Amino acid sequence: MSYRILVIEDNPDMLENIASILELGHYEVLTSENGKRGIEIALKEKPDLILCDVMMPELDGYGVLHILGRNPSTSTIPFVFLTAMSDFSHIREGMMLGADDYLTKPFDDSELLSVIEMRIKKHEQIKSAFDRDIHSIEEFLSRAREVRGSRGISDQLQSRVIKKKNFIFMEGHEPLDLYYINSGLVKTYMMTEDGKELVTGIHGAGEFIGYLPLLENSSYNESAIVLEDTVVYMISKNDFNSLVYSNRMIATQFIKLLADNLFEVESRLLEMAYQSVRQRVASSLMKLFTKESDENGDCPLIRISRKDLSGIVGTATESLNRTLADFRDEHILELTEAGIKVLDKQKLMGVAH
């Protein structure tokens, strides 16, 4: 895409001349012979740069700059004005009104082109500075560290080692941090009032947990308990919020994350409503299988307690057990002490439907 430049100049020859130079420089050129029309074009077309003569009848260049500067949609467009050589004070006046650069007549072609190129480049630079990409989690974390650092709190992200069976956070508590699992295994679950638990997720290394209440500004709706000794990084609520609200890339990343989640939970809801325990067990096993499986699509063993698995399926442990026994009898699974082994993936998928 080529840049569009609006040229406002009352002298037709001059205008023609400038336009042809710019077109040779592969810019798209819009022209106006007076200030009023120039403003109209600027508002409608939002050019990438405006080049405007100062000395014009009716509305002069300062007037144009002044008016465009008041409108938010045009105030950020780079504005370069044209003035007569001798006129020092005119240059000063233009700059004081917020122009970005100037050109003194007479100027040669290369001068014109390099001034315009310079200002467009500078503007692009500023624009892109507001949405630097974040490509990796390390970058996210270091950005988080940056935010933290700029407040002088600490320039090191806090990490914590949490042992098996300990809680990272509990339902009903107020969230203070976002957690990033560096290593280990964590179960998140919700509880009914009579103590039955529904597992909302088994989270391993590289996952974030506990972001929902931060985004929702509410207390935890689930608890997180450690299944295998875990190392978490903590990003404080404030740091997280300023990151999400100030960094476009992080915001869209979290939108993706939430959308993914929502998608999954909704389909789980449908399953929960109308599928039998048998189907749900098969489906949950398939999910665990694919999650744990390596690049060859093989998963040696699914290691999970009956209680947790029943919590994922959303059924009583006994019911789960009977279903697993059924699957074993049908030679779909092998139940060993070490864990559950899938023998017939096809058949399992068939049951899950």
Partner DNA sequence: CGCCCCGTTGACTGTTGTCAAAGCAGGTGG
Partner DNA sequence: CCACCTGCTTTGACAACAGTCAACGGGGCG
Examine residue 328 and tell whether it contacts a copy of itself (CB under 8 A): no
Among residues 254, 328, 339, 347, which is the contact residue for a copy of itself, using CB under 8 A? 254
Least Cβ distance, residue 325 to DNA (angstroms): 4
Examine residue 315 and tell whether it contacts DNA (CB under 7 A): yes
Strand runs (DSSP E) across the chain, as ranges? 4-8, 28-32, 49-53, 79-84, 101-105, 158-162, 167-169, 177-191, 197-203, 208-209, 223-236, 333-335, 340-342
Which single residue is written with the structure tokens 């559950």?
340
Name the CA dihedral angle for 265, 268, 272, 274, rounded to a multiple of 10 degrees.
Answer: 120
Contact set for a copy of itself, span 136-155 (CB under 8 A): 150
Of the candidate spans 21-29, 69-77, 97-105, 316-324, the one that interacts with DNA by CB under 7 A turns out to be 316-324
Of the candidate spans 5-13, 130-138, 232-240, 289-297, the one that interacts with a copy of itself by CB under 8 A turns out to be 130-138
The sign of the CA dihedral 328, 329, 331, 337 is: positive
> 80-107: b or e for each residue (b if 16 or more CB lie within 10 Å)?
bbbbeeebeebbebbeebebbbbbbeee
Among residues 66, 92, 122, 306, which is the contact residue for DNA, using CB under 7 A? 306
Q: What is the C-alpha to C-alpha distance for residues 186 and 180, in angstroms, rounded to an integer?
A: 11
Q: Give the CA distances from residue 265 to residues 189, 259, 316, in Å, rounded to whole numbers and listed in that order.
A: 13, 10, 20
Examine residue 89 and tell whether it contacts a copy of itself (CB under 8 A): no
Residue 15 contacts residue 9 (beta carbons within 8 Å): yes
Q: What is the C-alpha to C-alpha distance for residues 53 and 33, in angstroms, rounded to an integer?
A: 10
Tokens at residue 173, please?
A: 């508590």
Give 127 or 331: the residue with its C-beta nearer to a copy of itself: 127
What DSSP string describes 248-316?
HHHHHHHHHHHHHHHHHHHHHHHHHHHS-HHHHHHHHHHHHHHHH--TTS----B---HHHHHHHHTS-
Give 89 or 336: the residue with its C-beta nearer to DNA: 336
Q: Which does 326 bind (CB under 5 to 8 A by kind): DNA, a copy of itself, none?
A: none
End-to-end CA gap in the chain: 49
Q: Which does 163 bind (CB under 5 to 8 A by kind): a copy of itself, DNA, none?
A: none
Q: What is the C-alpha to C-alpha distance for residues 266 and 276, in angstroms, rounded to an integer?
A: 17
Q: Which SS3 state, helix, strand or coil, does residue 38 take? A: helix
Helices 88-96, 61-70: inter-axial angle, 10-degree rounding: 10
Of the candidate spans 23-31, 49-57, 73-81, 322-330, the one that interacts with DNA by CB under 7 A turns out to be 322-330
Give 146 or 318: the residue with its C-beta nearer to DNA: 318
Examine residue 191 and tell whether it contacts DNA (CB under 7 A): no
Give 120 or 231: the residue with its C-beta nearer to a copy of itself: 120
Least Cβ distance, residue 123 to a copy of itself (angstroms): 8
Examine residue 353 and tell whether it contacts a copy of itself (CB under 8 A): yes
Among residues 148, 187, 203, 278, which is the contact residue for DNA, using CB under 7 A? 278
Give 155 or 228: the residue with its C-beta nearer to a copy of itself: 155
Least Cβ distance, residue 306 to DNA (angstroms): 3
Name the CA dihedral angle for 276, 277, 278, 284, rounded to a multiple of 10 degrees.
Answer: 110
- Provide the 8-state DSSP code for 174: P
Least Cβ distance, residue 316 to DNA (angstroms): 4
Can you list the alpha helix ranges (DSSP code H) found in 46-108? 61-70, 88-96
Of the candidate spans 202-210, 240-248, 300-308, 339-347, the one that interacts with a copy of itself by CB under 8 A turns out to be 240-248
Q: Which does 129 bind (CB under 5 to 8 A by kind): a copy of itself, DNA, none?
A: a copy of itself
Write out the residues near a copy of itself by the rule CB under 8 A: 46, 72, 75-76, 95-96, 98, 100-102, 114-115, 118, 121-122, 125-127, 129-132, 150, 190, 192-194, 196, 198, 200, 212, 215-216, 218, 221-222, 244-246, 248, 251-252, 254-256, 258-263, 265-270, 272-275, 314-315, 353
Write out the residues near DNA by the rule CB under 7 A: 196, 276-278, 305-307, 314-319, 321-322, 324-325, 335
